Structure 1
Amino acid sequence: MALEFNIGSKIKKLRKARKLTLQDVARETGFSPALISQIENNNVSPPIATLSKLAKFFDVKMGLFFEEEEEERKFEVVRSGERRVASRVISKAGTGHGYTYEALSFRKRNKKMEPFLVSVSERAEEETLYNHEGEEFLLILKGKAEVILEDQRIILEAGDAIYFDSELKHRLLSYDGQEVQVVAVVTR
């Protein structure tokens, strides 16, 4: 059984350490105070793009939100049953995105890459696009995906891959509403 992260408490700790209010964080990041509060209380798990923006705002690596150990390691093996899941992802509109993501590395500190297994279980009704710093690599493991990059729509099938600049507004969707599994590697 994959365990959930306690991302919210880490974000709250960062905010309190800097003596910032929810409004301060909201003003600087563009997210609503209500959403930040929901994230801090672990009522919702933020999409990867949102986490990336929060990490940049707090000047920490995104991996900090997924780390569970203090010691530095040279390598890490994560067995399939040990993955950590972040689910209950919602959009700005408050609707579900129908996806979960699992961190494929959470013991190695100060990583340059953040690898995730993303599962999209349905076709989202809205198509909010996200962007953040860094680069992104997606490898479709299962299903048929639609990747929106700015004004382009790209259809990818199992075995296909795409590498792009994360500053492009983007979104990963299930093309036909069927489950899609993707390895996503994100850099800051």
Structure 2
Amino acid sequence: MSPAHTIGSRIRTFREERDIDLESLSKNTGLTLEYLEKLESDAIYPSIGPVQKVARALGVRLGTFLDDQFTRDPIISRISNENEADEALHTGRIPRPSYTYHALGKGKNDRNMEPFHVRIYPDSSERKTTSHQGEEFLLVLKGELLVVYGRENFLLKPGETIYYNSIVPHYVGAAGEEPVEILAVTYNP
């Protein structure tokens, strides 16, 4: 992926266009200056939570950083190659992706929902929960999905769904040693 099409470069571009310095962004997001510097230089794979905090602070949709095509309604998406993701994100501390995302709403710039086809790889790092405003709907397509929601654990299999308020701390990951594929739809007010 070219530098102009990475999450970090998009964040930096939007921040600079709004004349917001990193210190202000850090204050408005609760993320450390060091973390934001690494994020903008693509030195880390961020999880959705921090990217969503940055999107809110900059006044843009989460999808602004995950896709950049703009077309007219209706939008039709095809996943042609499971090895070619729109973006890769990571939940742990090691610099390899745990998630690959195919944004399914690319181009619909007035959307309220963010649909994704997500492939989640097993990750042995700490199951760190995140919380943010909005709602999430997940449909398991392949494999087994572990969802930690508050103090409860849910194990979902293909064909099963979960729909929850994302303000409650939650974690989503592969339940076993095999990758899991899901359809994820998020709503961020």
State the aligned residue count.
Answer: 185
Give the Cα–Cα distance (whole angstroms) in 2 for the partners of residues 54 and 34 of structure 1: 14
How far off its partner does 1:94 sit? 5.1
Return the TM-score normalized by structure 1: 0.86
In structure 2, what is the equivalent of residue 86 of structure 1?
87
Indicate if the aligned counterparts of 1:119 and 1:180 stay in contact, CA closer than 8 A: yes
SS in 2 for 1:159: coil
> Aligned AA for 1:120?
I
**Corresponding letter in the other structure for 1:6:** T
Amino acid at match of 2:11: I
Distance 2:50 2:88 in 1: 14
The Cα shift of 1:84 comes to 4.7
The residue number in structure 2 matching 1:102 is 102
1:111 to 2:117 alignment: no
Closer/same/farther in 2, CA of residues 146 and 84 from structure 1, 3 Å limit: closer
Partners of 2:48 and 2:89 within 8 A in 1? no
Deviations along 1:83-137, whole A, 9 cap, x unmatched?
A: 752115244x456562222211211112111011111111332011011111100
What's the % identity of the aligned pairs?
28
Whether the 8 Å contact between 2:147 and 2:154 is mirrored in structure 1 is: yes
* Aligned pairs for 1:1-188 within 5 A: 5-70=5-70, 73-81=72-80, 84-91=85-92, 93=93, 96=96, 98-188=98-188
| Cα distance in 2 between the residues matched to 1:112 and 1:170 | 21
Query: RMSD of aligned C-alpha atoms?
Result: 2.4
Equivalents in 2 of 1:97, 1:9: separation in Å? Answer: 18
1:127 and 1:96, CA in 2 relative to 1: closer, same or farther beyond 3 A? farther
Letter of the 1:39 partner, please give it. L
Aligned equivalents of 1:95, 1:130: Cα separation in 2: 19
What residue ranges of structure 2 are gaps of 5+ in the alignment? none
> Do the aligned partners of 1:138 and 1:184 also contact (CA within 8 Å) in 2?
yes
SS of match in other structure, 1:36? helix
Amino acid at match of 2:179: E
Does the CA contact (< 8 Å) of 2:128 and 2:171 recur in 1? yes
- The separation in 2 between residues aligned to 1:125 and 1:88, in whole angstroms, is 14
| Stretches of structure 1 lacking an aligned partner (at least 5 in a row) | none
TM-score (ref. length: structure 2): 0.86
**69 and 179 in structure 1: CA distance in 2 versus 1, 3 angstrom threshold:** closer
The 3-state SS of whatever aligns with 1:122 is coil
Q: 1:3 to 1:138 in 2, by over 3 A?
A: farther
Amino acid paired to 1:25: L
